[in-house]
């Protein structure tokens, strides 16, 4: 027991890294404090410590190390608690059934709150995977009775870890319960309840599930052994891991966060509770894309607007940008990224460190909350993720000795530099490179509206190159029209067509210029939906495909399809055509159970269909994107 405890505290930081945990405890603590203080007065100190330190993701060796194993999470307690609790129990010995029932409900609630966090751990640390995988089974019970039955079983092994006396007590209680069940199940039910709850009360805080336990002793017993085993496994793993923990931790920083899976009910519920933006989820979602968020369009905006003055933690600049994302006023990777960075700049300008807090930590936390707000408004693009990563690392690297005003000025200047170097100057370099690939007499095809491609075309025109542009567009956004207007306004010869005609128009095209939302490590171009179609058509016709993309949009992730990660747009946008009542055949049937509308926003173009990537580091083949990511990282560290 002793070695296990130490090892657990050693692997503590692992747990602390999981974002869900800290807020979990917050939530728990605040909402259920009254009940708990009544039902389990000697609240195990880990909870206290974790709530007090939760804002700091530091690796302090705290009792909450017990949290490593998912099985151990709930009533982690200490020897010292026992006496205390016992005495407290004594003062309120008449644990009435009704009270327990109420308490059980509360506990159940707690558990559903905690489970996402636990699952988060399972994803993060391989050592606890086994344990966690057994966990959903228990939870999957769903129906309250089953859950209640499971409860004591789950807490029992935990209790066994506490002390010999306790273990003996538990065993006795179990034996008693079993005997009772064997004999007159129904008759002795009440007795068993009392017996169990008494035994329970004498040693633990959770005590809660006592009464229901006897309802079905068998179920109560069965999950015990697996959980014990899991415990052993996770402990062994923890001991083994203790050595390279630091290394693991560093590596984990690099690992992208597990993405929120929106088909995971409990996590969605949890996230919703914290959400600022209240969104109604769309009903008939396509099965394959259930893991992505999809909301009824237009439900959030009024709600958000009304909240404008209530939400004090959100800086107005961030709020404004969030609303603009939501309403679609700002779109396009670069525009969104710049808007976000400028909003952050604004917040930093008006930021002052609260007393007894450090700027580095507090500001990082603030930025994180802004980011999650923006993410609720519209899922962040990969480029924005990179920019946020840059900002956070800049904040983290501020020397502690720096004064607040200095730090703020540095940060603002750094953001400015990022916007300038990584976006504006990068675009200029891209234009310079791309223009060399345009010859007189070319027919250039572009899809959607990429700001980089637009700059390339305009610059080539300014240089006096003679070429023609084919703008290919698609419903529902029709972004190409905007590009078309600007190009025609500058005197370029343009052809406008919809993507339906791309195979027809392609044979006269000599170059295809595409923009990208992001380019991933395997060279996959992640871009506006339809890009893959255009690239494949071009490939079939032997037309070179040039992708213009700033290097800050590169990401080390690898993606093979457009399903795992994508953004779902408003399904109404594809089912309705505004101003054309006579062809809106779907009116009235959009709520049908049998109809599932899928409005994807992005798609993934395999690197085979991309001839060249034009980036601020020059013209490279798509296979060299990881090389640049690597080099860019290095540069990132220097900044």
Partner 1 sequence: MWWRSPSFILDRQQQNDTASRNPESISLSSPPPSMADTLQNPNPNTSTSAYYQTRAVVTSDWLAQAQAAVGRHPDDDLPVNDERTKSAAGDAGKPFSVIDEFNSWRKQPDLAEAVAAIRALAAVIRASQATTMMELEIELKKASDSLKSWDTTSISLTAGCDLFIRYVTRTSALEYEDFNSAKSRLIERAEKFGEISCKARRIIAMLSQDFIFDGCTILVHGFSRVVLEVLKTAAQNKKLFRVFCTEGRPDGTGLRLSTELAKLDVPVKLLIDSAVAYSMDEVDMVFVGADGVVESGGIINMMGTYQVALVAHTMNKPVYVAAESYKFARLYPLDQKDMAPALRPIDFGVPIPSKVEVETSNLDYTPPQYLTLLFTDLGVLTPSVVSDELIQLYL
**Interacting residues with partner 1 (CB under 8 A):** 437, 439, 511, 544, 546, 611-612, 617-621, 623-624, 627-628, 631
3-state secondary structure of 588: coil
Q: How far is CA 526 from CA 65, 498, 506, 563, 597, in A?
A: 40, 20, 22, 12, 22
Residue 54 or 624: which CB sits closer to partner 1?
624
Residues β-bridged to residue 446: 471, 513
Measured in degrees and rounded to the nearest 5, phi and psi for residue 467 equal -155, 170
3-state secondary structure of 518: strand
Residue 230 or 615: which CB sits closer to partner 1?
615
- The tokens for 477 are 């956004």
Q: How far is the CB of 602 from partner 1 (least distance, A)?
A: 25
Residue 370 or 617: which CB sits closer to partner 1?
617
CA distance 487 to 446: 12
Residue 554 DSSP class = E
Residue 194 or 556: which CB sits closer to partner 1?
556
Residue 47 or 617: which CB sits closer to partner 1?
617
Residue 513 or 526: which CB sits closer to partner 1?
513
Q: How far is the CB of 469 from partner 1 (least distance, A)?
A: 17
- Only one residue has tokens 């006795």, namely 172
Q: How far is the CB of 462 from partner 1 (least distance, A)?
A: 22
CA distance 64 to 540: 59
In this structure, are residues 498 and 448 in contact, taking their beta carbons and an 8 Å threshold? no
Residue 341 or 614: which CB sits closer to partner 1?
614
The secondary structure of 126-179 as a DSSP string is GGGHHHHHHHHHHHHT-SHHHHHHHHHHHHHHHHHTT-HHHHHHHHHHHHHHHH
Q: Peptide bond preceding 631: is omega within 30 degrees of 0, i.e. cis?
A: no
Q: How far is the CB of 551 from partner 1 (least distance, A)?
A: 10
Q: How far is the CB of 517 from partner 1 (least distance, A)?
A: 23
3-state secondary structure of 75: coil
Residue 236 or 558: which CB sits closer to partner 1?
558
Q: How far is the CB of 620 from partner 1 (least distance, A)?
A: 5
Q: How far is the CB of 457 from partner 1 (least distance, A)?
A: 17
Could you tell me which residues come within 8 angstroms of residue 98 by beta carbon, excluding any fewer than 6 positions away?
A: none
- Only one residue has tokens 């728990």, namely 28
The secondary structure of 242-272 as a DSSP string is TTTHHHHHHHHHHSPPPPP-TT-HHHHHHHH
Q: How far is the CB of 628 from partner 1 (least distance, A)?
A: 7
**Exposure letters 513-531 (e unless 16+ CB within 10 A, then b):** bbbbbbbbbbbbbbbbbbb
3-state secondary structure of 317: helix
Residue 563 or 620: which CB sits closer to partner 1?
620
Integer Rg of the chain from CA: 29
3-state secondary structure of 472: strand
- Size (the chain), residues: 639
Q: How far is the CB of 510 from partner 1 (least distance, A)?
A: 9
CA distance 230 to 115: 16
Residue 568 or 625: which CB sits closer to partner 1?
625
Residue 268 or 612: which CB sits closer to partner 1?
612
Residue 131 or 628: which CB sits closer to partner 1?
628
Q: How far is the CB of 621 from partner 1 (least distance, A)?
A: 5
Q: How far is the CB of 636 from partner 1 (least distance, A)?
A: 13
Residue 270 or 511: which CB sits closer to partner 1?
511
Q: How far is the CB of 608 from partner 1 (least distance, A)?
A: 9
3-state secondary structure of 18: coil
Residue 493 or 621: which CB sits closer to partner 1?
621
Measured in degrees and rounded to the nearest 5, phi and psi for residue 209 equal -75, 0
Q: How far is the CB of 436 from partner 1 (least distance, A)?
A: 9
The secondary structure of 417-440 as a DSSP string is HHIIIIIIIHHHHHHHHHHTT--T
In this structure, are residues 468 and 441 in contact, taking their beta carbons and an 8 Å threshold? no
Helices and strands of the chain, counted as H and E runs: 28, 11
Q: How far is the CB of 417 from partner 1 (least distance, A)?
A: 19
Q: How far is the CB of 522 from partner 1 (least distance, A)?
A: 12
Could you tell me which residues come within 8 angstroms of residue 456 by beta carbon, excluding any fewer than 6 positions away?
A: 430, 431, 434, 435, 438, 513, 548
Residue 305 or 608: which CB sits closer to partner 1?
608
CA distance 426 to 385: 18
């Amino acid at each position: 027991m002793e070695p296990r405890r130490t090892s657990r505290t050693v692997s503590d930081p692992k747990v602390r890294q999981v974002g869900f945990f800290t807020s979990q405890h917050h939530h728990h603590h605040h909402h259920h404090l009254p009940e708990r203080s009544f039902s389990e007065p000697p609240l195990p100190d880990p909870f206290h410590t974790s709530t007090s330190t939760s804002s700091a993701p530091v690796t302090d060796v705290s009792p909450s190390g017990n949290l490593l194993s998912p099985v151990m999470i709930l009533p982690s307690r200490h020897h010292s608690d026992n006496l205390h609790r016992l005495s407290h129990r004594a003062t309120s010995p008449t644990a009435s059934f009704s009270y327990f029932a109420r308490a059980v409900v509360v506990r159940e609630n707690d558990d559903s709150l905690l489970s996402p966090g636990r699952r988060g751990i399972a994803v993060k640390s391989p050592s606890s995977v086994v344990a966690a995988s057994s966990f959903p089974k228990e939870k999957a019970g769903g129906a309250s009775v089953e859950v209640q039955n499971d409860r004591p079983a789950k807490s029992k092994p935990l209790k066994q870890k506490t002390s010999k006396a306790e273990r003996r007590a538990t065993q006795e209680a179990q034996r008693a319960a079993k005997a009772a069940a064997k004999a007159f199940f129904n008759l002795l039910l009440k007795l068993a309840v009392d017996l169990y709850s008494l035994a329970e009360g004498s040693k633990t805080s959770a005590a809660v599930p006592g009464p229901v336990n006897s309802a079905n002793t068998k179920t109560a017993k069965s999950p015990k052994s697996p959980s014990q085993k899991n415990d052993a496994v996770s402990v062994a793993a923890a001991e083994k891991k203790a050595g390279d923990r630091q290394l693991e931790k560093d590596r984990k920083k690099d690992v992208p966060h597990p993405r929120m899976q929106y088909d995971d009910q409990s996590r969605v519920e949890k996230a919703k509770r914290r959400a600022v933006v209240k969104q109604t989820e769309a009903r008939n979602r396509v099965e394959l894309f259930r893991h992505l968020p999809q909301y009824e369009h237009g439900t959030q905006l009024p709600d958000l607007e009304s909240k404008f003055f209530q939400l004090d933690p959100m800086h107005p600049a961030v709020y404004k940008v969030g609303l603009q994302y939501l309403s679609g006023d700002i779109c396009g990777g670069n525009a969104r990224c710049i808007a976000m960075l400028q909003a952050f700049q604004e917040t930093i300008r008006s930021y002052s460190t609260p007393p007894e807090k450090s700027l580095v930590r507090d500001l990082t936390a603030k930025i994180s909350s802004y980011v999650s707000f923006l993410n609720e408004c519209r899922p962040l693009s990969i480029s924005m993720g990179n920019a946020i990563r840059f900002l956070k690392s800049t904040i983290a690297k501020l020397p502690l000795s720096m004064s607040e005003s200095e730090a703020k000025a540095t940060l603002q200047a750094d953001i400015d530099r990022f916007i300038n170097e990584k976006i504006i100057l990068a675009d200029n370099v891209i234009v310079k490179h791309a223009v060399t690939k345009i010859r007189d007499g070319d027919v250039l095809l572009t899809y959607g509206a990429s700001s980089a491609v637009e700059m390339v075309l305009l610059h080539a025109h300014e240089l006096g190159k003679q070429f023609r542009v084919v703008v290919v567009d698609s419903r529902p956004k029709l972004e190409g029209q905007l590009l078309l207007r600007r190009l025609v306004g500058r005197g370029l010869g343009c052809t406008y067509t919809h993507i339906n005609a791309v195979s027809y128009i392609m044979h006269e095209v000599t170059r295809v210029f595409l923009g990208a939302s992001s380019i991933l490590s395997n060279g996959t171009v992640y871009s506006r939906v339809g890009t893959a179609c255009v690239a494949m058509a071009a490939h079939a016709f032997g037309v070179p495909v040039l992708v213009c993309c700033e290097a800050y949009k590169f990401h080390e992730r690898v993606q093979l399809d457009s399903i795992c990660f994508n953004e779902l747009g408003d399904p109404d946008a594809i089912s309705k055509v505004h101003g054309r009542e006579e062809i809106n055949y779907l009116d009235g049937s959009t709520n049908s159970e049998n109809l599932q509308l899928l409005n994807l926003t992005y798609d993934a173009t395999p690197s085979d269909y991309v001839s060249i990537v034009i980036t601020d580091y020059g013209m490279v083949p798509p296979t060299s994107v990881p090389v640049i990511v690597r080099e860019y990282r290095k540069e990132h560290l220097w900044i």
